[in-house]
Amino acid sequence: MRPKVLFSYILLCLIWGSTWFILKKSLTNGTPPFFGSGMRFLLAGSILWIIIFFQKNYPPFSKPALRIYFQFGVLNLAISYGLTYWATQYIYSSLSSIIWSGFPLTVALFSYFMLPNEILTKKKVLSLALGSIGAASILIESINLSGENVTIGVVLVILAVIIASYPSVYLKKYNQIVSSLHINSVSQLMAGIILLSVSYFIENDQQMIWSNYNIFALIYLTIPGSLIAWFIYIWLYSHLSMSQISYIAFFPPLMATTLGWVFLDEALTTMSIIGGISVIFGAVLINFHE
């Protein structure tokens, strides 16, 4: 891996690892989930469009490009992030991040059906089995975790991971059609509008608390968390294999679990930890010797 690619890879892992702690604390401090996620993408998309207008480098709107924008904006951003934001109100940030570490497993499954060069080897089957066992363990154990809507929160994050996998593999297959700047500008603005529309109808009884921390969280999740992170993520599509890209999901949970334990007093049960290890080990195995 070339130094520039490696640096970008590490930076992306650090950004996404820290966003879970910041997101959870922001939700706890009074940020409505759909409003918060919508503002994050609306601001990020708007900034990108300013760059586009300044550069006069307008995105293509061919049918293939529109399919990518729609899938990434609606599935990967609006639905997956909307579900994750809502669920993280009720479950630990570390638990959300651990479930998201199963992303390489679902990506591998979609890749097998969508990418001609992807083969479902015995190693990948074992990885998928470990990930499934881990996810099932976390889901079963969520029943015993204290708090409101914990189980449904776990289910929704698992669903978000599955939904995000398809457009990610589709983008890998057709990444030459649109640039990172174009897909982020269109998709993030689209996701922001969708999520804020949802917030208008179902969160009209919740007021955003504009505390200093919530303003900081919005800025952090918008600039590093959306603009920088997603630009790097899509840029890496042209430099790494699909498995290497999905391996990014392994490192943030380790960082998020540490931050959640130290700063948010998040203590997972033994079964949840075992399930998380199973998911993460499956993600490691599927990329081993890549």
Q: Which of 15-24, 102-111, 125-134 has the highest mean pLDDT?
A: 15-24
Residue pair 217/30 in contact by the 8 Å Cβ criterion: no
The whole-model pTM stands at 0.85
Q: Which tokens sit at 130?
A: 């470990």
Q: Which tokens sit at 144?
A: 């015993």
CB atoms within 10 A of CB 113: 10
The confidence band for 284, taking pLDDT boundaries of 50, 70 and 90, is low
Residue pair 207/9 in contact by the 8 Å Cβ criterion: no
Residue 288, helix vs strand vs coil: coil
The confidence band for 287, taking pLDDT boundaries of 50, 70 and 90, is low
**Spatial CB neighbours of 216, under 8 Å, sequence gap ≥ 6:** none
Task: Determine the pLDDT at residue 193.
Answer: 97
**Spatial CB neighbours of 27, under 8 Å, sequence gap ≥ 6:** 33, 36, 85, 88, 89
* The residue to which tokens 């990506």 are assigned: 107
Average pLDDT of the residues in 269-285: 76
Q: Please state, in angstroms and rounded to a whole number, the distance separating the CA atoms of residues 202 and 123.
A: 44
206: left (phi over 0), alpha (psi -120 to 50) or beta: beta
pLDDT one-digit tens code per residue, 42-70: 999 999 999 999 999 999 999 999 999 99
pLDDT one-digit tens code per residue, 151-165: 899 999 999 999 999
